[in-house]
Amino acid sequence: MAPVTQVMVDCGVYVDGMRLPGTYTHADALAKAREIQQAGQMAFVWIGLHEPNERQMHDVAEVFGLHPLAAEDAVQAHQRPKLERYDETLFLVLKTVNYVPHDSVVLTREIVETGEIMIFVGKDFVVTVRHGEHGGLSEVRKRMDADPEHMRLGPHAVMHAIADHVVDHYLEVTNLMAADIDAIEEVAFAPGHRTDVEPIYQIKREVVELRRCVNPLSVPFQRIQSEHKDLISKEVRRYLRDVADHHSQVAEQIASYDEMLSSLVHAALARVELQQNIDMRKISAWAGILAVPTMIAGIYGMNFDWMPILGWKWGYPVVMAVMTGLCLILYRNFRRRHWL
């Protein structure tokens, strides 16, 4: 059986907002925090796990009293953003996003990669479970360790800090995608450039994936403000309300991107259709021009004995002149009507 320490990124005990020195296992850390609580001080544990297997997560769930259904979700991942309550424990699922640097939208296969962060928050513990190669929380922990005033608000303050970090990253990714959309728009409407719809569909697919990560999170933020006032302090709810405002801003920006790309797809398809109509007119014009000499040559290729000007010595040059003249007249008319 693989020990929990193999997937444990960090484990800290916090007393009155300050982290105690030393290293602990998850069980020793919780026992230490509860021992300090009995002495009348505020203490809690914050442990971080990265992609634990079922047995490792079960071990953590037993120590912290996590519900088996929530622990199962934390192992399987691929969850939608949601907020669930199990007695005195909140279980929050956040989707993380990361912008993949690339030289060109046309040449890349992925613009946004996704991951997940699950947060278990109890009265005296925070357990974070991360899936994916990005979305690390080391920066959040360093910032919180340097801000004991905020940490004194308890475990739910850690939940706010993580949610704020994730939503801020949403905003960064959407701002970076704006440059890709501008580049696609510029190429799509460049004069003399044949429109390629595939890159537009690709970036629209990435925007849809981003929307699936961001939009469902609005419901958990609403429930935090309305349903869990007995668990979350008023001050922490104020911080979370600010995060919800930022989330709404990101959701609106993504919706505008989606609408813009839909309009761009329609415009690109209309341009492709227009180009096809122009090509068909050119083909029809040349087919009409070539039909004249084909018809005349076909008539005189029937090899009848008695045909007009068949025995006349000037017959051949006259026929060639007539064919050339008719072709030039047709060419001039098609040019005048901008078919050629």
In this prediction, residue 120 carries a pLDDT of 95
Backbone angles phi, psi at 100, to 5 degrees: -90, 115
Per the CB < 8 A criterion, the answer to whether 291 and 283 are in contact is no
Give the total residue count for the chain: 340
3-state secondary structure of 97: strand
Domain chopping of the chain, boundaries = 4-272, 274-336
In this prediction, residue 276 carries a pLDDT of 78
In whole angstroms, give the CA distance from residue 46 to residue 90: 14
Query: 41-62, pLDDT tens digit by residue?
Result: 889 999 999 989 889 999 999 9
In whole angstroms, give the CA distance from residue 240 to residue 249: 14
In whole angstroms, give the CA distance from residue 187 to residue 179: 12
Per the CB < 8 A criterion, the answer to whether 4 and 60 are in contact is yes
Q: Which of 165, 114, 157, 121 is nearest to 140 (CA)?
A: 165
In this prediction, residue 203 carries a pLDDT of 83
Taking only the tens of pLDDT, the chain with its 340 residues reads 567 767 888 888 999 989 998 888 889 989 998 998 888 888 999 999 998 988 999 999 999 999 999 999 888 878 889 999 998 999 999 999 888 887 766 666 778 888 899 999 999 999 999 998 776 888 999 999 899 999 999 999 999 999 999 999 999 888 888 888 887 777 666 666 666 677 778 888 888 888 888 999 999 989 888 888 888 889 999 999 999 999 999 999 888 888 888 877 777 777 777 777 877 888 888 888 888 888 878 777 777 677 777 777 777 787 888 888 888 888 888 788 877 7
In whole angstroms, give the CA distance from residue 31 to residue 226: 32
In this prediction, residue 272 carries a pLDDT of 74
In whole angstroms, give the CA distance from residue 127 to residue 221: 19
Q: Could you tell me the two tokens for 200?
A: 């537009």
In whole angstroms, give the CA distance from residue 166 to residue 117: 9
* Matching residue, tokens 């910032």: 143
In whole angstroms, give the CA distance from residue 85 to residue 63: 18
Q: Could you tell me the two tokens for 85?
A: 């309550």
In whole angstroms, give the CA distance from residue 208 to residue 205: 5
In this prediction, residue 106 carries a pLDDT of 63
Long-range (24+ apart) CB contacts under 8 A made by 33-40 are: 33/124, 33/125, 34/124, 37/124
The DSSP result for 208-249, as a single string, is HHHHHHHGGGHHHHHHHHHH-TTTS-HHHHHHHHHHHHHHHH
Q: What homologous superfamily does CATH list for 274-336? A: Magnesium transport protein CorA, transmembrane region (1.20.58.340)
pTM, whole model, 2 decimals? 0.78
Per the CB < 8 A criterion, the answer to whether 226 and 146 are in contact is no
In whole angstroms, give the CA distance from residue 45 to residue 124: 6
Listed in sequence order, the DSSP H helices in 4-53 are: 26-38
In the chain, the amino acid numbered 83 is L
Q: The CATH number of 4-272 is which of 3.30.460.20, 3.40.50.2300, 3.90.950.10, 3.20.20.70? A: 3.30.460.20
Query: 112-157, pLDDT tens digit by residue?
Result: 888 899 999 999 999 999 998 776 888 999 999 899 999 999 999 9
Per the CB < 8 A criterion, the answer to whether 122 and 155 are in contact is yes
Q: Could you tell me the two tokens for 313?
A: 């010595």
Per the CB < 8 A criterion, the answer to whether 9 and 49 are in contact is yes
- Helical (H) or strand (E) element with 43: strand 43-50
Query: 22-39, pLDDT tens digit by residue?
Result: 888 889 989 998 998 888
Q: Which of 195, 190, 203 is nearest to 268 (CA)?
A: 195
Is there a shared CATH topology between the 4-272 domain and the 274-336 domain?
A: no
